[in-house]
Copies of this chain bind each other. A is one copy, B any other.
Amino acid sequence: MNPTDMFTEVLELDASDPLARFRGRFQLRTGLIYLDGNSLGALPKATPGRIAEVVAQEWGEGLITSWLGAEWSTAPARIGDKLAVLLGANPGEIISTDSTSVNIFKALTAALSLRPDRSTILSEQTNFPTDVYMMQGIEAFSDGRVKALTVAPEQVIDALDESVAVLLLTQVHYKSGRVRDMAEITRRAHDVGALVVWDLSHSAGAIDVDLNGANADFAIGCGYKFLNGGPGAPAYLFAAKRHQTATPVLSGWFGHARPFSFEEDYDPAPGIDRFLCGTPPVLGLAALETGVDLLLEANMADVRRKSLRLGDLFMQLMEPLCDRYGFSLVSERDPAARGSQVAYAHPQGYQIVQALKEYDVVADFRAPDVLRFGLTPLYLRYRDIVATVERLTEVCALEAWNKPEYQRRAAVT
């Protein structure tokens, strides 16, 4: 296909895109191609107004009465119920509060309490670091009772045995984007009596997730990626109804059955609210809710379909660069095994990501050598993929990565 035909086809894809109307709902600077929405999602245009309202009216005018009057106190469960629509859960199975790391701790310790005769938390090497770090913290604190075990990604199923209390896996791998089969792995874990905690940080808002369809036990995930909840947004925790008997280790007052009775002894709330801990982060929750509301307007099947097409187009256009400049595909080609990103390895990966910024393309680098291109169907166009590969070609042709200013330390992403 000649370049003109190809570009015509891409413009037609954009013209017929059922999600095209969403791009205008985000604040995006003209010219910028933002391929890092899986690190920090873009700003919904509705968010500044909503936050201003929470600050000036609900806090400034309503003051303390807004805990009930503006429904701050029920925001974690209300947002959880909205997330449940995206994630195949029921109302009353998800709450939003605290960070992903803290929610990992809650989910793992809850699972351990449901398997008191077992000692192992299993995960895979190369899982997102905080997942494994939180396991290691539990192991260290347990004084020998709990063992944090990581095995090679392909050995996870074989490592499932009756010593395993809980398996912690990320559905979509943060670096490669590889998708795990949630239903099958959950079934295999249940076969040996183990529970599973799924990390949905790179799934929610990007791919179809069906927690109850997969008979999932627990899940947690991040609010600031595809959910567009803002920097450091509150995370969320799913606990299947049948597991809402577990007594939380992080037994803070907001998880109490009667927090405002100021009772002396902890008595966990009957439902998902027991997995709240301290006072919920109201400003962060308001931003997250605005992002989730926007996503709920979209059809998730459309989102997934466009995500895969964007990735297919990216890989197709990258083929000449792989041959000529030494990129190698890290992501899976198989659509069923590919999340909402495309990743390549390249020895100068870090420098190339830096150089792309000069071309107004924001991608992401993950040590040691991975360039990660996040695909966010709500605000990315097919033509942006074409422009990205064109600019990447120029970076490579000029060997722009050799410039000394691209040798700096990696940014926080």
Residues on A facing B (Cβ under 8 Å): 27, 29, 34, 36, 39-40, 42-43, 47-48, 51-52, 55-56, 58-61, 63-68, 72-73, 98-102, 105, 109, 113, 125-126, 128-130, 132-134, 136-138, 140-143, 145, 150, 222, 224, 230-235, 247-254, 256, 259-266, 277-285, 287, 362, 364, 366-367, 410-413
Contact = CB atoms under 8 A, between A and B. Distances in A.
A130 B113 CA distance: 21
A47 B99 CA distance: 23
13 contacts: A43-B59, A47-B55, A55-B287, A63-B362, A72-B232, A98-B278, A102-B278, A105-B250, A129-B262, A132-B264, A140-B249, A222-B279, A232-B282
A282 B280 CA distance: 14
B284 A99 contact: no
Given A129-B263, A232-B283, 16 more contacts: A43-B56, A48-B60, A63-B362, A67-B412, A67-B413, A72-B232, A98-B102, A98-B278, A100-B278, A102-B277, A109-B141, A129-B262, A132-B265, A141-B141, A232-B279, A259-B412
A364 B51 CA distance: 26
Nearest to A136: B266
A329 B169 CA distance: 56
Given A279-B232, A283-B287, A411 B262 contact: no
A99 B278 contact: yes
Q: Which of A40, A59, A133, A284 has the most CB of B within 10 A?
A: A133
Contacts of A63: 34, 36, 40, 42, 362
Counting every copy of the chain, the complex holds: 2
Nearest to A410: B260
A262 B368 CA distance: 9
Contacts of A248: 137
Closest 7 CB pairs of A and B: A99-B278, A101-B252, A137-B251, A101-B278, A67-B412, A231-B282, A130-B253
Contacts of A73: 412
Contacts of A264: 125-126, 129, 132, 150
A222 B254 CA distance: 14
Given A55-B47, A64-B362, A64-B411, A249 B36 contact: no
A102 B283 contact: no
A281 B97 CA distance: 11
A67 B40 CA distance: 10
Nearest to A72: B231
A252 B99 contact: yes
Contacts of A145: 143
A265 B150 CA distance: 11
